Structure 1
Amino acid sequence: MPDLPNSARVVIIGGGISGCSVAYHLAERGWTDILLLERKRLTSGTTWHAAGLVGQLRASQNMTRLAKYSADLYRRLEAETGLATGFSQRGSMTVALTPARREELLRQASMARAFGVEVNELSSGEIKALYPHLETRDVVSGVHLPGDGQADPANIALALAKGARMRGAQIQEGVKVTRVTTDRGRVSGVDWQDETGETGHIAAPHVVNCGGMWGRDLAAVNGVTLPLHACEHFYIVTEAIPGLAQLPVLRVPDECAYYKEDAGKILLGAFEPVAKPWGMNGIREDFCFDQLPEDVDHFEPILEKAIVRMPLLAETGIHTFFNGPESFTPDDRYYLGAAPEICGYWVAAGYNSVGIASSGGAGMALAAWMDRGEPPFDLWEVDIRRAQPFQRNRHYLRERVTETLGLLYADHYPYRQMATARGVRRSPLHEHLRSRGAVFGEVAGWERANWFANEGQVAEYRYSWGRSNWFDNAAAEHHALRQGVGLLDMSSFGKIRVEGRDALQFLQGLCGNDLSVPEGRIVYTQMLNARGGIESDLTVTRLSETAFLLVVPGATLQRDLSWLRRHLGAFVATIIDVSSAEAVIPVMGPLSRALLSRVAPADLSNEGHPFGTAREIEIGLGLARAHRVSYVGELGWEIYVSSEQAAHVFETLVEAGTDLGLKLCGLHAMDSCRIEKAYRHFGHDITDEDHVLEAGLGFAVKTAKGDFIGREAVLRKREEGLSRRLLQFRLDDPAPLLFHNEPILRDGRIVGQVTSGAYGHTLGAAIGLGYIPCRRDEGIDEILASSYEIEVAGQKVAATASLQPLYDPRSQRLHTP
């Protein structure tokens, strides 16, 4: 029987590199009574057979921050623990075989500079010099990151485990957690069983699910959503190659391949476009250091291209053909943080084949989160609260992960949409829109019309780094919203009803704006954390004395529900997700009042229906609630209508708007309009790391109303002054496009990056938002007097900066009489 304690402060489930990293970093923070339980042996799930590539550059600044931390950690672990990690900082190189991939690599290089990662752009000759065995005749370009490297994954995990033990953590192999126990909505401990069949229970207020490919089923026992699925991952290792020198890690994404030199051999791995899911019906109990059956036919297309790319492979024998399982998620990003379903249940799993590069930083970040009760910086990109409950469906996961494995090396075009497991969540208007040419994108499983194809035009994306096939369509939709009238479908909005005796008092303590308003008023507000960072960006409509409707982005619904429930405490109020009960049909543009007046016998004048108010109106034969708000910066209303009446209301509006030039519009057009108006987008322009005043949203914070979370941080920031500001930028050249993360230069020096970007069809150029640092006493005139540029794919483009919206700065168009 294992020598296990009766209680612990935290039980970490899983002894791969993720679990060992969490244990190490909690112990480093001074936590005691740490217990890690591994069902078989440390590293025996996926870690032991990982390729061990340690790259620093990721898709965002904070993910890059975590990856850089991992590299730094692995570099110092050996000296600390005495165990070799095999870390070798030999750099990495990625080569492009097409102009599109070259554009992607140039944009990545620009992003690396913004994030402080050393990067060098390479010519074909320089690539050949770094990797002489490579066939480069058809290579277009490449980039080199000297700080990248490779390591021995199992040894890193064992070194982290030793470091944790050295600080007092207990690690026990051969003990399986069979269930996490709970009491009144929070973790109370774990039930376990060892390899002899002995069972027991350990009391603990915290558990961390680092179970890898077992994590989903373990989480499901407690109703926790952890959507991941294992896929088969293939690589070969050659025989020893005489005279093979140490080489950088090489990636050839256009051929779905990566190459790693190790001990005079070449490891060739693949991220093929259509992967093979594994273990859908469960993983056998004795699975440990197991390999999956070879599938030479599946790997052969990769190998054929590799032999041409690296001719020495044709003369070298294969020592090992390896196939092992790794966990993948529906959006190709791992899961980290506090599960919203149960207090004290934490997750670090689903690493999508970048677990070695990610786990060091992820373990550090999660330990800080657990220790302080809040994430150390914005981690929304990997936050477990982004997972949707329906994603627990195994058939959905099996279909989706056939695609996500290959996305690692696919072209990362802007606006690229998932192709698999689509159509799960549809608006009541879906078929109406599809029949009229809608081309859909997906957010949180929702199918949303992004643009509308013209008659005779193929209704599908043709991806590009330039002006895509939908550019002109979105421009026409944009101009309809600006000059005429457009209709959108935003039924994917998250809708939360908060009702009860204490509803107002409860929400006043969470929201920065004052919600003590008359019935029918709409309040734009944020929910803040104690640092003044933005946890949620929403509107709150007072429906009655005791009932409020909160409208949030569809992607953040689970996050926002979790935040509300976490703070409910003893308040007498109910929190209900009513998202599916109503469709939302925005009717926007200067002619929106004229259109609605044809179908709604209501006074829609500024006096009869002022901006920021909601009331019930008749439309056709039905009833709806008209909210006079706008995310496009024009006169307009969002029509909230019960799902069963949505089709009728839609048909009524379309018929009535024919001679007004009513145009169906998609989210690309809406995004173009909102960025011209400098409206913020949660998750990009505003996050829990961005102070509400620095984001320029102080107008939505009313400190005089009384206490609320973040109030002291707002008062303190007002007293101290701002150290960064969110500005709007317009490129002086109308040709380049902005998406996000392009470096911002002030007087020739990189000072930040674009948080979101889109083409402004009225302003006639690409528009971006982004934070720039400033002195606390620096006036806006001095800030704007500087020279600004934005780097786009390696080219510096002059930009005009503004603190006020470049389009309709006084918001006069919202109040059109």
Structure 2
Amino acid sequence: MTTLPAKARAVIIGGGVSGCSVAYHLAKLGWTDIVLLERKQLTCGTTWHAAGLVGQLRASRNMTRLAKYSADLYARLEEETGVATGMRQVGSITVALTEERREEIYRQASLARAFDVDVREISPAEVKAMYPHLNVSDVMAAVHLPLDGQCDPANIAMALARGARMRGATIAEGVKVTAVHEAGRRVTGVSWEKDGERGTIEADIVVNCAGMWARELASQNGVAVPLHACEHFYLITEPIPGLTRLPVLRVPDECAYYKEDAGKMMLGAFEPVAKPWGMDGIAESFCFDQLPEDMDHFAPILEMGVNRMPMLETAGIHTFFNGPESFTPDDRYYLGEAPEVSGYWVAAGYNSIGIVSSGGAGMALAQWIHDGEPPFDLWEVDIRRAQPFQKNRRYLKERVTETLGLLYADHFPFRQMASARGVRRSPLHEHLKARGAVFGEVAGWERANWFAREGQEREYRYSWKRQNWFDNQRDEHMAVREGVGLFDMTSFGKIRVEGRDALAVLQRLCANDVDVPVGRIVYTQMLNARGGIESDLTVSRLSETAFLAVVPGATLQRDLAWLRRHVGDAFCVITDVTAAEAVLCVMGPKSRDLMQKVSPNDFSNASNPFGSWQEIEVGMGLARAHRVTYVGELGWELYVPTDQTAHVFEALEEAGADVGLKLCGLHTLDSCRIEKAFRHFGHDITDEDHVLEAGLGFAVKTTKGDFIGRDAVLKKREAGLDRRLVQFRIADPEPLLFHNEAIVRDGAIVGTITSGNYGHHLGAAIGLGYVPCEGESEADVLAATYEIEIAGVRHPAHASLKPMYDPTAARVRM
């Protein structure tokens, strides 16, 4: 047995490709005292039976950056380590059988160009020339990525393991971690056992790379890693005479992928309704195990496969394989430090893209551990997006039944999950449902996205064009612009920061000055040392020693972790009070009229100016009325005790009948905010985006004293901006913007749309996106000619550095 040390700087749990990659990359950074412990044998969980597809294009720039890194790494690993990796850049083809899928893959091609991935749209005839065995009679369009590839997954992991050992890492097989130890909610080490022998290793860092065991292992320490295994099927034919090297082929409309390897053909499936596995736990003996065959389940995929590739009808089946892989509630893996326990890191839940992801993910996580901050924005896969309730096993079983199939489903904008719904509900859920609400889900919260008219179906009809709720959104949008709308925003994250040192803590963390009188509200960001935006929030001063921070519901766990991480020895308590209060947003030019009808309090500018709050009577209840807005109109956010929420809503609804009150959904909130160029965290602003380049310098007060990121702000002010966040309006009122469309400046792609929606008041699609501007003035930026490329077609666009709607913000101060 490999001698295990009593102490290590880091212990990595799990010897699949993910754990081996983390070990390799930490070792490359000079961490020699690291130990990887594998319960059985390296690769014996999921890695050994992975398909080994290496596709570079992912859904965002940074995920694509990680995938491209993986491809480059795997291409050079054999030379570095002597282990053959089977990496071959054979290219890939994705074909579309429907108009909707054609739109999707053409949008992906535009995105690939923006991300500098080699891509071209090809005709069905070109597909046939590259893939002569394929039936292309119903193929409508295709996209070819020539630098995509395939590899041997097990050997990739073995090469990474050897590379880690070459740099001093210890890798031990047959060693099971029985416990992760902690003290004061900080990792202190692990206990292990092997063949009856037991021991402990003290460690500063523990990395959970346990794959489909990761949830159960993490739960021992109260850490949420929501994932669940599903059965994944593929078959491999007998050798087929004359079969030569072919690109990887994806036919998502048939839930299938094809890979040629050594003269055989693999057909794999991501079927629409998956089979969860391991509900009662995973057997202790599990090692290179296969699951029972289920040809009845696979038969529909095979039937379509025989039609798509007729040679499969006569090819013998060498292997029909069924093996487990882990899937997450949103089809994105987990990376980063768990918010519950300091020093407990996670890299797991790869949703069947573990091979292409693990090279880059291991690099990014190792850099994150080494530097104390991620190398670039990783919020898309950050473990802090996981909600504590999501580790519930019934929830996971129901959700992953859907998420596996969504990998190859049409990735329509605004697509809502259909499974495992209704877990978190506002006190108004049934009221809104009765009034026509059509709900979406974020962080488990059911939120009214739009309101159906009487007699209208209450379901989404998905499309890349205008969906069935477009006119509903327009009516709601114009009600907010011209009258008054009511939004239920109970899903806001609400955090009390209180204690003798609460002000000092917030002043250290917030870029704006929060030392304001009681009753004032401050819009601010919390920055990192690079000046990037860690959080976008409002802070309301409730008393001399108590503050309320309001954050997006999706970022609550992240924001709680950031605050708690920086409290240190200060006398300051951070408390999640989200469930204590509902939030009703009354917005629009007639909102003051409504508030004066339902409350005896004074809502004048003199008594309740913008950026202030007051306690009010409303109906027969009490609330705090915060005069702020995310839609760019006069309005109030009403923070109402949960037990009084239904009553307050009924009082508002009754009083609103005389002023034309309209119930509005989250789609309208988003279309209003984008007309006003208000930023959305996770899209327009991230921890990689400098606060000044995001156009939020007005919320930064460097004169107040020191705070995290202040030096980076001062440095950027002196050096000048490298890029600016610009608002765009498409000249043609028909095209739609959603996210990630290519920004074209003077004929060259320079960036992507970070978020988009339809601006019903402005009469066209509106988007935000960063444009390079090093050494340029604002006039230079605006003098350029702009187009937005959507599915390969370029549309002229107007650019502005000021909000196109109400640029002076006069309406919010009415």
TM-score, normalised relative to structure 1: 0.99
Tell me, in whole angstroms, the C-alpha distance in 2 between the residues paired with 1:322 and 1:599. 65
Query: Could you say which residue in structure 2 is the equivalent of 1:181?
Result: 181
- Mapped to 1, the partners of 2:610 and 2:781 lie a distance apart of 33
The match for 1:771 is 770
What secondary structure, in the 3-state scheme, does the structure 2 residue paired with 1:138 have? coil
Structure 1 residue aligned with 2:481: 482
SS in 2 for 1:726: strand
Q: Distance in 2 between matches of 1:184 and 1:585?
A: 38
Following TM superposition, by how much is the alpha carbon of 1:104 offset from its aligned partner in structure 2, in angstroms?
Answer: 0.2
SS in 2 for 1:644: helix
Counterpart residue type for residue 72 of structure 2 = D
1:92 matched to 2:92: yes
* SS of alignment partner, residue 224 of structure 2: coil
State the partner residue of 2:790.
792
Aligned to 2:454: 455
Superposition map of 1:289-328 within 5 A: 289-328=288-327
Query: Secondary structure of 1:612's partner?
Result: coil
Quote the residue 1:10 is aligned against.
10
Indicate the residue corresponding to 2:808 in structure 1: 810
Question: What is the CA–CA distance in structure 1 between the aligned matches of 2:746 and 2:679, rounded to whole Å?
Answer: 25
| Distance (Å, rounded) in 1 between the aligned partners of 2:2 and 2:24 | 22
d(CA) in 2 for partners of 1:137 and 1:774? 48
Structure 1 match to 2:436: 437
The aligned residue for residue 592 of structure 1 is 591
2:564 is aligned to 565
- Secondary structure (helix, strand or coil) at the match of 1:708 reads coil
More deviation, 691-700/178-187: 178-187
Counterpart for residue 229 of structure 1: 228
Deviation of the 1:401 alpha carbon: 0.2
Partner of 2:125: 125
Cα deviation, 1:677-724, whole Å, max 9, x if unaligned, reads 000000000000000000000000000000000000000000111010
1:526-553 deviations in Å (ceiling 9; x for gaps):
0000000000000000000000000000
Aligned to 1:166: 166
For 1:104, the equivalent position in structure 2 comes to 104
Is the aligned partner of 1:656 residue 2:655? yes
- 2:783 corresponds to which letter in structure 1? A
Matched AA of 1:236: L
Alpha-carbon offset, residue 197 of structure 1: 1.7
Letter in 2 for 1:749: A
Q: Which residue number in structure 2 is paired with residue 540 of structure 1?
A: 539
User: What RMSD in Å do the two structures reach over aligned CA positions?
Assistant: 0.5
Name the CA distance, whole Å, in 1 between partners of 2:773 and 2:811: 32
Tell me which amino acid in the other structure corresponds to 2:266: L
Give the whole-Å Cα distance in 2 for the aligned partners of 1:445 and 1:635.
Answer: 30
Match runs of 1:648-797 below 5 Å: 648-776=647-775, 778-797=776-795
SS at match of 1:75: helix
State the 1:183 CA deviation.
Answer: 1.2
Q: Which amino acid aligns with 1:799?
A: A
Which residue matches 2:518?
Answer: 519
SS at match of 1:568: coil
Shift of 1:659: 2.2
Aligned residue identity for 2:427: P
- In 2, the alpha carbon distance for the partners of 1:147 and 1:646 equals 56
CA distance in 1, matches of 2:572, 2:238: 67
Return the alpha-carbon distance in structure 1 between the equivalents of residues 210 and 284 of structure 2.
Answer: 14
> How far 1:782 sits from its partner (Å)?
1.2
Per-residue Cα deviation, 1:486-531 (whole angstroms, up to 9, x for no partner) = 0000000000000100100110000000011000100000000000
- Letter of the aligned partner of 2:642 in structure 1? S
Structure 2 counterpart of 1:653, one-letter code: L
Q: Secondary structure at the match of 1:205?
A: strand
For residues 619 and 289 of structure 1, the distance between their equivalents in structure 2, rounded to whole angstroms, comes to 64
SS at match of 1:752: strand
Partner of 2:61: 61
**1:86-121 alpha-carbon deviations (Å, 9 max, x no partner):** 000000000000000000001000000000001110
The alpha carbon displacement at 1:280 in A equals 1.3
Alignment partners' CA distance in 2, 1:544 and 1:659? 37
Q: Describe how 1:317-356 pairs up with structure 2 within 5 A.
A: 317-356=316-355
SS in 1 for 2:351: coil
Superposed structure 1 runs of 4+ greater than 3 Å apart = none
Distance 2:471 2:204 in 1: 56
Alignment of 1:134-149 (within 5 A): 134-149=134-149
Q: Indicate whether 1:427 and 2:426 are aligned.
A: yes
Gaps of 5+ in 2: none
- Mapped to 2, the partners of 1:163 and 1:3 lie a distance apart of 19
| Structure 2 residue matching 1:9: 3-state secondary structure | strand
SS at match of 2:566: helix
Task: Give the aligned residue type for 2:271.
Answer: E
**Matches of 2:616 and 2:281 in 1, distance apart?**
53
Amino acid at match of 1:132: P
Q: What's the CA shift string for 1:226-273, capped at 9, x where partnerless?
A: 000000000000010001011000000000000000000000000000
Partner Cα separation in structure 1 for residue 794 and residue 154 of structure 2: 43
Residue 22 of structure 1 pairs with residue 13 of structure 2: no
Distance 1:305 1:724 in 2: 48
In the alignment, which residue of structure 1 is the partner of 2:204?
A: 205
TM-score if structure 2 supplies the norm length?
Answer: 1.00
Give, in whole Å, the separation in 2 of the partners of 1:642 and 1:129: 66
Q: What displacement does 1:199 show?
A: 1.0
**Cα deviation code 1:465-485 (max 9, x no counterpart):** 000000000000000000000
What amino acid sits opposite 2:755 in the alignment? S
Letter in 2 for 1:781: A
SS at match of 2:8: coil
The SS at the match of 2:32 is coil
Q: Give the count of matched residue pairs.
A: 814
Cα drift, residue 2 of structure 1: 4.5
Deviation by residue 1:759-806 (Cα, 9 ceiling, x = unmatched): 000000000000011123x11011100100110110000000000000
Between the aligned partners of 1:573 and 1:29, the Cα distance in structure 2 is 36
Aligned mates of 2:256, 2:729 — CA distance in 1: 39
1:205 offset after TM fit, Å? 0.6
Distance, in Å, in 1 between the alignment partners of 2:149 and 2:58 is 15
Alpha-carbon deviation of 1:32?
1.5
Question: How much does 1:414 deviate?
Answer: 0.1
Aligned to 1:552: 551
Aligned equivalents of 1:252, 1:369: Cα separation in 2 = 36
Amino acid at match of 1:61: R
Quote the offset at 1:3 in angstroms. Answer: 1.4
Q: CA deviation at 1:281?
A: 1.1
1:193 pairs with 2:165: no
2: distance between equivalents of 1:763 and 1:417?
27
Rounded Cα–Cα distance in structure 2 between residues aligned with 1:774 and 1:781: 10
Q: Which residue of 1 aligns with 2:494?
A: 495
| CA distance in 2: counterparts of 1:60 and 1:230, whole angstroms | 25
How far does residue 660 in structure 1 lie from its aligned partner after superposition?
A: 1.2
SS of equivalent residue, structure 2 residue 616: strand
Counterpart CA distance in 2 for 1:31 and 1:739 is 42
SS at match of 1:8: strand
The one-character-per-residue Cα deviations of 1:646-694 (angstroms, maximum 9, x if unpaired) are 0000000001111211100001111000000000000000000000000
Shift of 1:198: 1.2
CA distance in 2, matches of 1:686, 1:783: 20
